[in-house]
A and B are shown apart, each in its own frame.
Chain A
Amino acid sequence: MAKKVKAVVKVQIPAGKATAAPPVGTALGPHGINMGAFIKEYNDKTASMVGSVVPVVVTIFEDRSFTFVTKSPPAADLIRKEAGIEKGSPQPNKSLVGKISKAQVRKIAEMKQNDLNANTVESAMRMVEGTARSMGVEVTA
């Protein structure tokens, strides 16, 4: 019989750099999992990706065991890369820091579609577009 799922938590941290500090400790600690085991496993699995942010979705079961899967990079990272910028605008309503085309939005949406739980690529594109605009990145035709 399948184990009962107690909680699902996504953790988005720099590869190879998980520690017991927040957000790992605060997000996973209260669920009673063996955090040392998670930290070691996360750092081992993401060792080759150091320098990137690697989100993982952790499924925690009633018996406190857990599994996790690594996900595609955050939409914001992909947008920054496509727009060729280091960071978003602190005031996206006043100052734009870059632009990406609809085609680039589609490319990101296709990469992220499964992870975003989007039913259609159009729906994923809407999410990517909204994220880009909130970062001060203009979406052009």
Chain B
Amino acid sequence: MPSAAEKPAAPIRWIEIAVPAHPEAVEAVSEILDRVGYNGIAVDVPLEGGPHIVKAYVVYDHAARVKVRRVKEAIGRLRAFGLGPVGEVALRRIADEDWLESWKSQFTPIAIGPFFVRPSWSTASAAGIEIVLDPGMAFGTGLHPTTRQCLEAVGRLDLAGRSVLDVGTGSGILAVAAAKRGAGRVVAVDVDPLAVRAAEENARRNDVSVEVALGSAADVPGAFDVVLGNLVADVLVRIAADLRARVARGGVLVCAGIVAEKEALVVRALADAGLARRRRDQREDWVRLDLA
């Protein structure tokens, strides 16, 4: 993994693992590639006959070689399981700049609560607390309802001098927002190394101090006045006790990314951990809960 201290301009490189597969073997090959692929897999479906090409992408780092070897071994074994023919594993090294351009064009300046979120490549200006953001490939541009809900909460809470932990920070947007609102210590964690890198860059870009680390709520020592968890329901349920352990006496947990139909599960898990719902916000299908 490239060091997070490297210059932001250094492009992340990937290795594409591509495996041609008979339609009968596509699901099995997909399962193998999904074990190592970043966020899933893709399959090129032939328009006229020919094999499908199953593709996965791994970050080009020290672990990549091991992942590629595992795929090659598993694909080799697959041939014994009586599915259609599977071709050779092909590798290609790629950079990520090109396809990001079209993504960037979709991300425009936006006012949310007291904040004005501006992509780093935009020169727009407006009233409000400015957050300059380059989401890279991480989640959290302010365009998604869950991010908006959390930003509004960060805009409303009294953060002056208080400690804040952002679990699953993604682009770092919430951590940066908290720091801009005068929070004392701000810690941000994410289990995705790409998110850690994006969050560090965005903190620098906004000239605020955020301690960014790889990991989750369980990996952070101590307790915080405000804990933010813009995750998904299943993860919130799974780490409910860890989140509770990070909330200081008199503190608050703001969690979002909860699909309405799973709200009850999250509320129950957090109640079991000792947190009660104080406030609720629903936007489209997404629910945000403030608990203490």
Residues of chain B within 8 A of A12, CB atoms compared: 30, 34, 40-43
Complexed CA–CA distance, A39 and B81 (Å): 36
Among A26, A34, A76, A112, the residue within 8 A (CB) of B55 is A26
* Closest chain B CB from A134 CB (angstroms): 5
Q: Is A84 engaged at the interface, CB distance under 8 Å to the other chain?
A: no
Residues of chain A within 8 A of B32, CB atoms compared: 134
* Closest chain A CB from B80 CB (angstroms): 7
Q: Evaluate contact between B82 and A130: CB separation under 8 angstroms.
A: yes
Interface 1/0 per residue, B64-86 and A, CB below 8 Å: 00000010001001101111000
CB<8 Å pairs between A and B, sample of 21: A10-B43, A11-B40, A17-B139, A19-B139, A20-B99, A20-B100, A21-B137, A22-B57, A25-B100, A36-B103, A36-B107, A40-B143, A48-B285, A50-B262, A51-B233, A51-B234, A116-B23, A116-B27, A123-B24, A130-B82, A133-B81
Among B24, B70, B94, B107, the residue within 8 A (CB) of A130 is B24
Among A5, A25, A117, A134, the residue within 8 A (CB) of B103 is A25
Q: Evaluate contact between A23 and B232: CB separation under 8 angstroms.
A: no
Q: How large is the interface on B (under 10, 10 to 19, 20 to 34, 35 or more residues)?
A: 35 or more
Q: Is A98 engaged at the interface, CB distance under 8 Å to the other chain?
A: no
* Closest chain B CB from A72 CB (angstroms): 11
Q: Is B245 engaged at the interface, CB distance under 8 Å to the other chain?
A: no
What is the interface size of chain A, counting residues whose CB is below 8 A from a CB of the partner? 59
* Chain B interface main SS type: mixed
Q: Is B31 engaged at the interface, CB distance under 8 Å to the other chain?
A: yes
Residues of chain B within 8 A of A70, CB atoms compared: none
11 additional A-B residue pairs with CB within 8 Å, beyond A7-B44, A22-B37, A133-B81: A8-B44, A24-B42, A25-B96, A25-B103, A26-B42, A26-B94, A40-B106, A74-B34, A93-B77, A116-B23, A134-B77
Residues in B lying within 8 Å of A, measured CB to CB: 14, 16, 23-28, 30-32, 34-35, 37-45, 47, 55-57, 70, 74, 77-78, 80-83, 94, 96, 98-100, 102-103, 105-107, 137-139, 143-144, 194, 232-234, 257, 259, 261-262, 284-286
Complexed CA–CA distance, A132 and B105 (Å): 42
For residue A131, which residue of chain B has the nearest CB? B28
* Closest chain A CB from B83 CB (angstroms): 4
Residues of chain A within 8 A of B40, CB atoms compared: 11-14, 23, 53
Q: Evaluate contact between A27 and B259: CB separation under 8 angstroms.
A: no
* Closest chain B CB from A100 CB (angstroms): 14
Among A29, A43, A112, A128, the residue within 8 A (CB) of B99 is A29
Q: Is A127 engaged at the interface, CB distance under 8 Å to the other chain?
A: yes
